[in-house]
Amino acid sequence: MNHSISLTVNGARRDFVLDDPRVTLLDLLRERLHLTGTKKGCDRGQCGACTILVDGKRINSCLALAISHDGADILTIEGVARGDQLHPVQAAFIAHDGFQCGFCTPGQIMSAIGMIKEAQAGNDPERIRECMSGNLCRCGAYAGIVDAVLDAQGQMDESNQRRSA
């Protein structure tokens, strides 16, 4: 039986006909939309490489059935920059060497964007490490990742203050 669903992906409405309900958001993004920035690491919710924002919240897209998220608003790594202007978190990962091989990086960046929105960690590196523990990095770039998140969060706070001033 076919199921029709629609999603908003990086600001654009997308309609899909699913001939099988087994497809995850991760596979839908990669196989149907060819948005391969979202990575399939473990595919079991353990590594965080597939992290995306769904309705503004970071989740593991490998453990989310697409069919269950009919109507959802999805943000992937492909949707965070504005043209050539990188998102502050992307720029901070480059500035602080927050990666080595880069495979976990899209998930790290999406997780960091979600974490900054959650506003639970403040500028405490220990809380940032705890709040980012769902993203594994086999290269061990964690020190750079924490620095990048701290820096980006500070910049985003400043720019929010300027905007509201």
Q: 46 to 65, contacts with other proteins by CB under 8 A?
A: 48, 51, 57-60, 62-65
The dihedral of CA 111, 73, 32, 90: what is its sign? Answer: negative
Sorted by sequence, the CB contacts under 8 Å of residue 83 that are 6+ apart come out as none
**Stretch in the footprint of other proteins (CB under 8 A) among 8-16, 91-99, 127-135, 146-154:** 127-135
Task: Please identify which residue in 4, 6, 68, 160 interacts with other proteins, judged by CB under 8 A.
Answer: 68
Instruction: Specify the residue, 35 or 132, whose C-beta has the smaller distance to other proteins.
Output: 132
Residue 53 and residue 114 in contact, taking contact as beta carbons nearer than 8 Å:
yes
User: One symbol per residue from 70 to 109: x for binding other proteins (CB under 8 A), - otherwise; what is it?
Assistant: x---------------------------------------
**3-state class of 16 per DSSP?**
strand
33, two tokens:
């939309």
Residue 162 CB, shortest distance to other proteins, in Å, is 27
CA distance 91 to 48: 20
